[in-house]
């Protein structure tokens, strides 16, 4: 047997009810785990013989690994476990691994025809980063793999997570996947979703703002944008640095309509979930509750609270990570209620990664409605391209990519068609306010505009936007040829990766 297992340390509120006589002879298991330096989310590698690998335990607690983001640590642990199983099948420990072992492993993962689940170059580069970190920490020399060596990196690395849906396609995906509509555009008989308003308003907020899943998913109720821009179509707020990838607080923008949908969710669906939880005493049984007593304003807003034991505390809002935010409660009309914006049916904070399940469910529903029974029997990865092209597919990050693409096209349409700027005018405008690429980069919170072009807007990064919009100006009779929907439809036909409703419904028909 070569199967390795990974056990992760639970968050404090997820230990559950432990046996009074202890676990495996340990009376206070959470305390024992904390005393050896393990933190919530840390991984414990269990060998095939059922014993803990103490070397890997030290690696998990090392500064080289500890300083990674929790999601990165989870991904690295998953990658390392697969390598450990491969090495164990050869009777080799990870400290004895050679360059040949890693070359054979890479061949199996990326190229071997007999492997039905080969990975992309992008995925291999992530795995190689994890292995490099482990082997360097363990002083395994010569390094079996080193991601800094060109020969150890994949040449075909491209972002596999990038996907774009046009605005109308998002409408189809939401109607079918989240609202339970049929192909005819009406609610299916018997359709019932107690979280429909929560799910649709979350998607609209991400589409409007370009926030990442964790950024939008960890908002507090008092962080919803309330300050209107001068012309009133958009609101702006601040996203805390602790929940961003860059760890820098930034301004974000969301449309009045999107924020209005979120507010409607707060006043109805969310309020009902809170009321049910209060009636059941759910919040009284939580192990960690911090009742907010004050939220200061200014450049560095601070949250002050008191916990169940009467201990007073506080922290800058920008420094509160998403786990700490789940402990914050506000005094409502009927008792304490979560400050966390997005709640489960049980009235508890919904962890950001649970949105993946919401999107997955919507994708499956779209397949159920738009594909035939025979087509659905084929596992998605084995379906032909023409079958996959019949149904929209979205992830939380697709909303961010789509918002970037939509914003870029809209900005250029304004520059080219509505403002009628000459080349000199555009050059002057760019010097004053930045060109459309720079503006989109700023909205997304990227530090480098090349990241915006290369990873988020690949469909148009190689095109002259003037040529995209040329047909959208006027005919000889002075009539508009295309609106934005038409521009997106044409762009989807001319480039790879953009999902558009015309192509989807045409294929499905």
Q: Quick check: 18 pLDDT over 50?
A: yes
Helix (H, G, I), strand (E, B) or coil at 204: helix
Residue 472 has pLDDT above 50, yes or no: no
Residue partners of 161: CB distance under 8 A and separation at least 6: 395, 397
pLDDT band at 421 (very low <50, low <70, confident <90, very high): low
CA 169/CA 485 separation, integer angstroms: 10
Supply φ then ψ for residue 140, to 5 degrees: -90, 110
Q: 230 or 319: whose pLDDT is higher?
A: 319
Return the structure tokens found at 287. 């192990």
Strands 335-338 and 328-332: antiparallel
Q: What is the DSSP letter of 118?
A: -
| pLDDT band for position 389 (cuts 50, 70, 90) | low
Instruction: Label residue 112 left, alpha or beta by phi (over 0 means left) and psi (-120 to 50 means alpha).
Output: beta
Arithmetic mean of pLDDT, 488-503: 69
Q: What is the DSSP string of 226-256?
A: -EEPTTSSEEEEEE-GGGSSS---EEEEEEH
Q: What is the mean pLDDT of residues 213-217?
A: 95
Report the alpha-carbon angle 66-67-72, nearest 5: 85
Mean pLDDT value across residues 31-58: 90
Q: What angle do CA 205, 206, 212 make, to 5 degrees?
A: 140
Query: In which region does residue 210 sit, left (phi positive, over 0), alpha (psi from -120 to 50) or beta (all else)?
Result: left
pLDDT tens track for 399-412? 988 888 887 777 76
What tens digit of pLDDT does each residue of 319-359 get? 999 989 999 999 999 999 999 999 999 999 999 999 999 99
* Predicted confidence band of residue 121 (pLDDT cuts 50, 70, 90): confident
**Res 509: pLDDT:** 54
Percent of the residues in the chain that have a pLDDT greater than 90, as a whole number = 47
């Amino acid at each position: 047997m070569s199967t390795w297992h990974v056990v992760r340390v639970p968050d404090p509120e997820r230990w559950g009810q432990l046996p009074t006589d202890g676990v495996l002879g340990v009376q206070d298991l959470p305390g024992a785990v904390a005393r050896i330096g393990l933190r919530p989310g840390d991984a414990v590698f269990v060998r095939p013989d059922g014993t803990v690998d103490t070397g890997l335990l030290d690696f998990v607690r090392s500064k080289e690994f500890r300083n990674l983001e929790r999601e990165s640590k989870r991904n690295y642990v998953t990658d390392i476990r697969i390598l450990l199983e491969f090495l164990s099948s050869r009777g080799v420990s990870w400290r004895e691994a050679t360059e040949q072992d890693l070359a054979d492993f890479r061949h199996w993962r990326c190229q071997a025809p007999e492997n039905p689940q080969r990975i992309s170059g992008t995925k291999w580069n992530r795995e190689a980063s994890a292995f490099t970190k482990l082997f360097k920490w363990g002083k395994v020399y010569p390094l079996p793999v080193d991601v800094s060596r060109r020969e150890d990196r994949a040449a075909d690395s491209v972002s596999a997570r990038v996907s774009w849906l046009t605005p109308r396609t998002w409408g189809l995906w939401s109607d079918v996947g989240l609202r339970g509509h049929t192909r005819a555009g009406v609610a299916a008989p018997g359709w019932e979703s107690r979280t429909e308003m929560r799910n649709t308003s979350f998607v609209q907020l991400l589409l409007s703002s370009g926030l990442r899943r964790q950024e939008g998913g960890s908002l507090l109720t008092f962080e919803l944008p309330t300050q209107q821009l001068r012309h009133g179509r958009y609101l702006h707020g601040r996203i805390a640095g602790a929940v961003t990838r860059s760890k820098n607080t930034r301004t974000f923008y969301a449309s009045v309509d999107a924020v209005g949908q979120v507010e409607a969710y707060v006043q109805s669906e969310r309020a009902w979930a809170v009321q049910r939880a209060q009636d059941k005493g759910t919040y009284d049984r939580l192990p960690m509750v911090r009742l907010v007593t004050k939220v200061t304003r200014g450049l560095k807003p601070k949250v002050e609270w008191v916990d169940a034991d009467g201990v007073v505390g506080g922290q800058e809002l920008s420094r509160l990570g998403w786990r700490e935010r789940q402990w914050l409660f506000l005094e409502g009309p009927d008792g304490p209620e979560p400050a966390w914006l997005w709640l489960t049916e049980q009235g508890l904070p919904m962890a950001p990664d649970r949105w993946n399940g919401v999107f997955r469910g919507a994708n499956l529903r779209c397949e159920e409605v738009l594909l035939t029974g025979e087509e659905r029997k084929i596992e998605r990865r084995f379906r032909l391209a023409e079958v996959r092209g019949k149904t929209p597919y979205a992830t939380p990050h697709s909303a961010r990519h789509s918002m970037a693409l939509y914003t870029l096209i809209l900005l250029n349409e304004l520059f080219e068609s509505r403002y009628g700027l000459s080349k000199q005018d555009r050059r002057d405008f760019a010097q004053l306010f930045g060109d459309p690429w720079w503006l989109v980069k700023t909205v997304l919170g990227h530090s480098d505009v090349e990241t915006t072009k290369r990873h988020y807007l690949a469909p148009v990064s190689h095109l002259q936007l003037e040529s995209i919009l040329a047909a959208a100006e006027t005919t000889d009779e002075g009539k508009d040829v295309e609106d934005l929907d038409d521009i997106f439809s044409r762009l989807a036909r001319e480039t790879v990766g953009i999902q558009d409703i015309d192509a989807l419904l045409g294929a499905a028909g």
